[in-house]
Amino acid sequence: MKAKRIALILGIVVVVGGLLGAGALWLRLRAGAQGARGPAAAPELVFEVKKGATGKALGAELHAQGLIESPLYWRVYLREHPGFSPKAGKHALSPRMTIPEIGKALEAAPISEDEPFVMIEGWRLRDTDEALAAKGWIKPGAYLAAAKDVKRFKAPFPLPARGLEGYLYPETYRVSLEGGFKPEALIERQLGTFVERFYQPHNDELKKTGRSLDEIVIMASMLEREEPVPKQRMTVAGILWKRIDKGFALGVDATSRYELADWNNRTEFLKKLRDKSDPYNTRERVGLPPSPIGAPTVDSLTAAMRPEKNEFLYYLHDSNKVLHPSRNAAEHEALRDKYNVH
């Protein structure tokens, strides 16, 4: 009897060992077997590893979410990978992944918790403020106030005392909301991006233009709004700089929209065009407006530095946004009649 009992125990050990060995072999060799039970494009799932979670405890959770067929297979994987160390946080997994692939993914860096914020080209400080407030990240006016508190920020050039309009580069930024959104942190990154993308690589060229950095930024902000086609902005820049040098009013209507609560409010815009006291009315006032009218891109900034030498003094866009420059007032008026631009 004793001999039979020993034989039975040895038999069980052999069977279990064989199963585990077969399981380990299956884990190593299989490819897509798990995915065969689902659609060819099974969606990704976000699986969260809690802080302090053990590898063994994850098996039941992975099974409950349909990511593995059985916790037994997961235990076999852990047996083969005694050093398994999952990272706390969220991970993108798919039911079509093999268990080794899932294990590797869980040991990799988790998905970033940062949120994307898209700052559109040409946006004013107030537009960015409204977008941040709409997300619930700030109270209305908080970003605007921070951007006007110039003394708290540093740059390799003197910052305008009026505020940072035009100097905060339009881009998609990933921001952390942990501990609360801080507008000053975003502004520092936007200002740093302006320095990195434009000021540092173009500083030597900028010095040769004979224009100040602020003049270039103001001109670029108008080009961003005035000319939708980047390759044509040097043509428009050539016309506008020529008008400034000759003492002509710029006639850039976009400047009269700058102080509107709603940029596209046509009724208020037409009132602004008739307001001769408005410092941003470039139909009535000669020279550049008092500040940039939005955030320009590198395309507009470089165009402002590299104005095209041409024979034109006027320009307009037709209903298809096609640019039509002209040499004198008579040609300009003829084009206005031709394209019904009044």
Question: What's the whole-number mean pLDDT along residues 168-188?
Answer: 92
Q: Is residue 165 part of a domain?
A: yes
pLDDT for position 26: 47
pLDDT for position 43: 63
319: left (phi over 0), alpha (psi -120 to 50) or beta: alpha
**Which of 80, 111, 142 delimits the end of a domain?**
111
What does pLDDT average to over the chain? Answer: 87
98 or 22, higher pLDDT: 98
Is 27 in contact with 76 (CB distance < 8 Å)? yes
pLDDT for position 211: 97
The values of phi and psi at residue 135, to 5°, are: -80, -10
Q: Is residue 283 part of a domain?
A: yes
**Which of 89, 111, 133 delimits the end of a domain?**
111
Q: Same domain for 208 and 300?
A: yes
Q: Is residue 253 part of a domain?
A: yes
Q: Is residue 339 part of a domain?
A: no
- pLDDT exceeds 60 at position 55: yes
Tally of CB atoms within 10 A around 191: 20
Residues whose CB falls within 8 Å of the CB of residue 196, separated by 6 or more in sequence, listed in order: none
Token reading at 306: 């590299």
pLDDT (tens digit, 9 = 90+) per residue, 113-166?
678 999 999 999 999 999 999 999 999 999 999 999 999 999 999 999 999 999
Question: What's the whole-number mean pLDDT along residues 171-177?
Answer: 89
Task: Name the least confident of 38-42, 274-278, 308-312.
Answer: 38-42
Q: Same domain for 157 and 282?
A: yes
- pLDDT exceeds 50 at position 9: no
Q: Is residue 248 part of a domain?
A: yes
Show the DSSP H helices in the chain as ranges: 2-29, 55-64, 71-80, 99-107, 125-134, 142-148, 183-194, 200-207, 213-226, 233-245, 266-274, 298-305, 329-339
Q: Is residue 48 part of a domain?
A: yes
- Domain limits at 55? 40-111
Could you tell me what percent of the chain has a pLDDT over 70? 87
Domain count, the chain: 2
The CATH number of whichever domain residue 73 belongs to comes to 3.30.1490.480
Q: Same domain for 63 and 151?
A: no
pLDDT for position 42: 54
Most confident of 63-72, 101-110, 209-218: 209-218
Token reading at 156: 């390799």
Q: Is 292 helix (H, G, I), strand (E, B) or coil?
A: coil
Q: Is residue 318 part of a domain?
A: no
Q: Same domain for 260 and 193?
A: yes
pLDDT for position 308: 96
Q: From CA 40, how far away is CA 32, in angstroms rounded?
A: 10
Q: Same domain for 86 and 129?
A: no
Report pTM.
0.71
Q: Same domain for 137 and 278?
A: yes
pLDDT band at 218, cuts 50/70/90?
A: very high
